[in-house]
Amino acid sequence: MFGLGPAGGGARARRRRQWFVAAISVGAAIIVIALCVGALAVVDAVDGVRDQASDARDVRQARDDRCLDLERRLNKLVPPGSATSPVARATAIRNENGAVRIFVADGPSAESQDDWRQLIDARAVFADALDRQARTNTPAFYVVPRNSDGEPVSDDLVDASPAACAGSIRRLAAPDL
């Protein structure tokens, strides 16, 4: 059968059949092992993708939570625009800057930390100018910090931050209102 010798043919034919069956068995075992290894690799890859998606979701949620915490802290403070005197407005700006410093220390991305610091520094300079205005009647002006392209830094922050931060950034970008 199958050219392996006569059906009843001797020890040599039997040995040949045994080798043939052994080779087929080994080949089948190798194929089964390869299929199992491939299936495990696919399952591991799918699990890795799920883990990455879960991690990304957790990171986004943490960023949103930090933005909402910043907004809550700012909402507890008196907005500079409602202050009746330059000194009170300067104090309100400094209080808001303190809340923002807590947020920046919590860790927005390294790229946006410089923008946050520029915004805080511009607001601090404005607060100092308001204090001078109270003493000397010299008008105080807020100078919007700009990036290297001449765009307001606040636009970069809105683009780089989660949507939950947009309201706080816009509020901080206009301390003279």
Question: What digits encode the pLDDT tens for the residues 4-16?
Answer: 555 556 788 888 8
Structure tokens at 130: 């308001």
Answer whether residue 8 is part of any domain: no
Answer whether residue 18 is part of any domain: no
Answer whether residue 102 is part of any domain: yes
Q: Which domain covers residue 137, as residue numbers?
A: 60-172
Query: Pick from 63, 68, 75: which is nearest to 108 by CA?
Result: 63
Answer whether residue 23 is part of any domain: no
pLDDT on residue 4: 52
Please compute Rg for the chain using Cα positions.
Answer: 35
Judge whether 84 and 177 are in contact, CB under 8 Å.
Answer: no
Q: For the chain, give the mean pLDDT.
A: 87
Answer whether residue 6 is part of any domain: no
- pTM tops 0.85: no
Answer whether residue 103 is part of any domain: yes
pLDDT on residue 9: 62
pLDDT on residue 35: 92
Instruction: Judge whether residue 148 has pLDDT over 70.
Output: yes
The DSSP code for 3 is T
Output the CA torsion sign for 29, 32, 37, 38.
Answer: positive
Structure tokens at 97: 């800057």
Tally of domains in the chain: 1
pLDDT on residue 151: 93
Answer whether residue 158 is part of any domain: yes
Answer whether residue 138 is part of any domain: yes
Burial class (CB in 10 A: 0-12, 13-18, 19+), 44: exposed
Tell me the CA end-to-end span of the chain in Å, nearest whole number.
97
Among 20-24, 39-43, 105-109, the range with the most confident prediction by mean pLDDT is: 20-24
Instruction: Judge whether residue 125 has pLDDT over 70.
Output: yes
pLDDT on residue 149: 92
pLDDT tens digits, one per residue of 55-99 = 778 888 888 888 899 999 999 999 998 888 999 999 999 999 999
Judge whether 41 and 49 are in contact, CB under 8 Å.
Answer: no
**Close Cβ partners of 49 (under 8 Å, ≥ 6 residues apart):** none
Judge whether 153 and 115 are in contact, CB under 8 Å.
Answer: yes
Residues in the chain, total:
177
